[in-house]
Structure 1
Amino acid sequence: MTSSTPYTESYIVGPQNTQFYTRTYLSTNPKALLIAVHGFNEHIGRFTHFHASFAQRGIAVFAFDQRGFGLTAQKKENGGGKKYAQTSWREQLEDIEWAVKEGRRVEGCGDVPVFMMGNSMGGALTLAFSTRTHPAWPHPSTETVSLLSGAIVSSPFIVLTQPANRLQQWIGTKLALVAPRVIIPAVVKGSDLSHDPKVGEAYTNDPLIRQVGSLRGVADMLGGGEQLLENDYKNWPKGLPLLLIHGTDDRVTSYKATQSFYDNVVADDKKLSLYEGAYHEIQNEPDGVKEKMAEECITWIEARLSGASSAPATAGTNAKATTPVSKL
């Protein structure tokens, strides 16, 4: 790690002998550890500025390119790009459980509070991680979930802003049972991610991003999100703090679905923070918005360090907040 590179990087062998590309944002004497879970058709390299801000405040970050995406997908031992987007929630939840345990190996992080943060697809997976501990799902274990001191979820893929046709979704789910690895188009417009046109251009031209998905992966995202809203919210650990963040002009995932999850979930410490006018990637919004989000997330974590999962009401327990984004 150099002064111009705020992270160390390495490939680490995880579940099914997958070699995961990882980044660790180190901090001297870290007070907490954040496990970062990225979204669909993207990679952790797109959030260097955001993750670095946590390390600067004493919160180490362990991030990894998920199975089938980013540099993990490009690794020769993982298929050299031929298995792009070939994944499933069952595999991804196992991978995230591995990441929690691997992150605790980071120097100085063995005994510090662990938080998880997921964006978009990663946001839905972060919610699923703490609600799918029943016998039908081998991963994650209740023991691993109990290691978490809080979860931050931004723009989760619960329901699309423009939901998929129900008939097409039903057909896709059935096809995924017999041909799970078949690749289909899955387009996310770069211009829908941020008000900053440079973000959209970089996304569109990113050589690590391909606008496709596997039948199994897409079916799991669509069905898993709906299941979170319809039933799995009931399984949320009551004592696990939850911060939900969403932009009200998100063109990709529905902020109203996030609001419904917040309204339904039973948690001693929960907060919904809506960014008025923001698009899908608030951490990439211009005009100081991404800095506001980073500050909110960092201070939320800091407020929960001394009392583990019993933060005071003044820190945002069971609260809704709307952040006006006047320049967007």
Structure 2
Amino acid sequence: MAEHVLTGTHGLLTVREWPHERPRYLALVVHGYGEHVGRYEELAQVLVAHGAAVFGPDHTGHGKSAGERVLIEDFEDVVTDVHAVADLARAAHPGVPLVLVGHSMGGLIAARFAQRYGSELAALVLSGPVIGAWELPGTLLALDEIPDTPVSPASLSRDPEVGAAYRADPLVWHGPMKRPTVEAFARTLETVSQGGDVGPLPLLWLHGDDDRLVPLAGSRVGVEGIRGGTFTERTYAGARHEVFHETNKAEVFADVTDFLDGVLTG
């Protein structure tokens, strides 16, 4: 694994690369709220073994990147940052197809990226994406003060080790959400809902049916709004929010690589 430092819209961004000498595709991993791309080590290894060079930034205010912790005032800037990472990947491997994989908040960023730069992508994979009817921002913004209730580690996966590692991870934010970030979520949910579908771009949607952080029914509204002509859905019985860390993750990884095989050979 290598690390790069890019100048983002709000300071320096740390980008991880899981290299491949002669990749058949590039995979750009877009992490979720409060976490960092290092939590996607296993997914990255699966994709490298499948023939990808994998890249992923820590977003502004997250992980090893600069900025006040978990402060995102405009997700359009984060999309611009992710596009800079795409440019870095393509400079290393010109002409190689690019696939975007976004989880949770990263799904919101990836969906918006596809609306802005969809012609640059070969495929879009959304895992537990924050799109559509997500009620949390409205609930929090109605309060005078946002409560200090961090993400429950048990909501991430049925595997207790996942929650324990999350709780102990110093690069994960364990404090309250910040009002400007919640306001940015609300605005960008609206932007994506009005931003049109992704046209012919192949889209794979992954979701646990016991996801309490980003409930499946709310995301479905958003996915229906952006899906174009080539759409694949995989919902997993009993799975919680992080399907890449779930007890059935081998099945999830196989669904991703099968989908990408179909895209790349099709």
Aligned match for 1:95, one of 44, 57, 81? 81
What is the DSSP-based 3-state SS (H/G/I as helix, E as strand, rest coil) of the residue aligned with 1:146? helix
Q: Deviations over 1:185-243 (max 9, x none)?
A: 462111100011111111112111222333222222234225534x33xx123111111
260-269 or 121-130, which deviates more: 260-269
5 Å matches for 1:35-184? 35-72=28-65, 78=66, 83-87=68-72, 88-106=74-92, 109-131=93-115, 133=116, 144-158=117-131, 163-164=135-136, 166=138, 168-169=140-141
Partner of 2:211: 250
What is the DSSP-based 3-state SS (H/G/I as helix, E as strand, rest coil) of the residue aligned with 1:278? coil
Structure 1 residue 263: Cα displacement: 3.4
Gap regions ≥5 residues in structure 2: none
Q: Supply the distance in 2 between the matched residues of 1:40 and 1:186 (Cα, whole angstroms).
A: 14
Look up the equivalent residue of 1:122 and give its one-letter code: G
Q: Supply the distance in 2 between the matched residues of 1:189 and 1:226 (Cα, whole angstroms).
A: 26
Partner of 1:205: 168
Q: Supply the distance in 1 between the matched residues of 2:112 and 2:149 (Cα, whole angstroms).
A: 22
CA contact (8 A) 1:184 1:215 kept: no
163-172 or 290-299, which deviates more: 163-172
Distance 1:93-1:46 versus aligned 2 partners, 3 A rule: same
Partner of 1:136: none
| Identical aligned residues as a percent | 25
Distance 1:248-1:226 versus aligned 2 partners, 3 A rule: farther
Aligned match for 2:260, one of 287, 292, 301? 301
Distance 1:271-1:165 versus aligned 2 partners, 3 A rule: closer
Distance 1:266-1:189 versus aligned 2 partners, 3 A rule: closer
Distance 1:25-1:223 versus aligned 2 partners, 3 A rule: same
Distance 1:201-1:160 versus aligned 2 partners, 3 A rule: farther
Q: Supply the distance in 2 between the matched residues of 1:145 and 1:282 (Cα, whole angstroms).
A: 24
Q: Supply the distance in 2 between the matched residues of 1:147 and 1:297 (Cα, whole angstroms).
A: 20
What is the DSSP-based 3-state SS (H/G/I as helix, E as strand, rest coil) of the residue aligned with 2:151? coil
Q: Deviations over 1:241-285 (max 9, x none)?
A: 111110000010011122223334451101111111100001101
Q: CA RMSD in A?
A: 2.3
Q: Supply the distance in 2 between the matched residues of 1:224 and 1:84 (Cα, whole angstroms).
A: 19
Look up the equivalent residue of 2:179 and give its one-letter code: L
Look up the equivalent residue of 1:278 and give its one-letter code: A
Structure 1 residue 184: Cα displacement: 7.2
CA contact (8 A) 1:159 1:253 kept: no
TM-score (norm 1): 0.74
Aligned match for 1:279, one of 220, 237, 240? 240
What is the DSSP-based 3-state SS (H/G/I as helix, E as strand, rest coil) of the residue aligned with 2:211? coil
Q: Supply the distance in 1 between the matched residues of 2:8 and 2:260 (Cα, whole angstroms).
A: 29
Whichever of the two has the greater Rg, that structure is 1
Distance 1:167-1:281 versus aligned 2 partners, 3 A rule: closer
Pair 1:8-2:17 in alignment = no
Aligned match for 1:26, one of 16, 19, 22? 19
* Equivalent residues, number: 264
CA contact (8 A) 1:28 1:58 kept: no
What is the DSSP-based 3-state SS (H/G/I as helix, E as strand, rest coil) of the residue aligned with 2:201? coil
What is the DSSP-based 3-state SS (H/G/I as helix, E as strand, rest coil) of the residue aligned with 1:272? strand
1 or 2 for the larger relative contact order (CA 8 Å, sep ≥6)?
2
Gap regions ≥5 residues in structure 1: 1-6, 73-77, 134-143, 176-182, 308-328
Pair 1:224-2:188 in alignment = yes
Distance 1:120-1:186 versus aligned 2 partners, 3 A rule: farther
Partner of 2:155: 192
Q: Supply the distance in 1 between the matched residues of 2:139 and 2:178 (Cα, whole angstroms).
A: 18
